Structure 1
Amino acid sequence: MVQISTEVPGDERGTLLAFVESQRAAIRETLDGLDEERAASRPSASELSLSGLLKHVAECELGWLRMAQQRPNERLRDETSYGDSFRLVEGESIPSVLAFWDGVRKETEAFVAEVPSLDQTFPLPPAPWFPQDAQVSVRWMLLHLVEEFARHAGHADIVRETIDGTKAMG
């Protein structure tokens, strides 16, 4: 498991990154002690699995980072591959997805540290769920990642509890 420093800078960037990391950790912890098969199981009415949620949030963070950087997303999904963002495919494993997400985490933290201002904006792509020609700030992106990860951490808690009764936070 990735160890994050317990020292959190008190400035806004450090605080926002600490909240993002807290939600990342909540998702990672739901996988503790599970093998690949159990982590891929879908024990509830939902189509979600723990390993699929892990991959989804890692790719989600990369997508937001690439939008903020205004760079192409090397893992951009379309209609034909969207389902693969919620399941591990051949050659992928929990350790490989965790390593990928750790790389994205490092890149996000470096980007946030280097961006001149959290007020810096970037355009949202055309999508039915985004306002047309909208722009959001880096601050907004970090808060959105907290929201996105917290939502999926809740999903992961329910899935894990359904698998073996393990509950988040004890």
Structure 2
Amino acid sequence: MAQISEEVPGDERGTLLTFVEAQRRAIRETLEGLTEEQAASRPSASELSLSGVLKHVAEMELGWLRMAQQRENEILGSRENYADGFRLLGDETVAGMLAFWDGVRAETEAFIAAVPSLDDSFPLPPAPWFPENGKVSMRWMLLHLVEEIARHAGHADIIRESLDGTKAMG
């Protein structure tokens, strides 16, 4: 549940950012108290791990932020293998990925605070899943972040419960 905060204004921007943050927090909570090995394990029929979900959502949020800013994505632009976006590689750690996501969060919130209007739009890149010459608004992007992070928070909840019975929602 999105919690009302005195730090975030109750206007539309603040409300949308509060809901994005609630979903981020849901994923973070599924990682609490786990070792790197537990976070990387795949205890269910899915190929997903908690650390992989974390990496994916952090990088996905950065991707949408970079599209909205109309800037090059410094992370995804160098990736050769799509599956590498769903697992920690090399010296990547859960703590490091959480810190990375904190930076993305701060940048997303600062960017949204600075845009003149949530009606401002940006072009979507060419892709089979986007309409040709498609554009979306900042509002749409925030709602999409809620949707996308919430979907993966549900995955994370099931993975955590499969690991040790911990239920984030109860």
Q: TM-score, length-normalised on structure 1?
A: 0.95
User: Offset at 1:49?
Assistant: 0.2
Determine if contact 2:4/2:18 at 8 Å carries over to the other structure. no
- The amino acid across from 2:56 in the alignment is H
C-alpha distance 79-99 of structure 1, shift in aligned 2 (>3 A): closer
Deviation above 2 Å: which 4+ runs of structure 1? 77-81
User: Offset at 1:6?
Assistant: 2.9
Residue 148 of structure 1: aligned partner:
148
- 2:31 is the alignment partner of 1:61: no
Q: Structure 1: where are the runs of 5+ without partners?
A: none
Take 1:106 and 1:140, find their aligned partners in 2: how far apart are those partners?
19
Residue 126 of structure 1: aligned partner:
126
Deviations 1:115-134 (A, max 9, x none): 00000000001111111110
Deviations 1:46-68 (A, max 9, x none): 00000000000000000000000
Take 1:138 and 1:92, find their aligned partners in 2: how far apart are those partners?
31
Q: How many residues get paired?
A: 167
Q: Structure 2: where are the runs of 5+ without partners?
A: none
Deviations 1:84-126 (A, max 9, x none): 1100001100010000000000000000000000000000011
Take 2:76 and 2:92, find their aligned partners in 1: how far apart are those partners?
17
Take 1:98 and 1:48, find their aligned partners in 2: how far apart are those partners?
17
Identity among equivalent positions (%) equals: 75
Residue 167 of structure 1: aligned partner:
167
CA RMSD of aligned residues (A): 1.5
- The amino acid across from 1:55 in the alignment is K
Take 1:27 and 1:77, find their aligned partners in 2: how far apart are those partners?
25
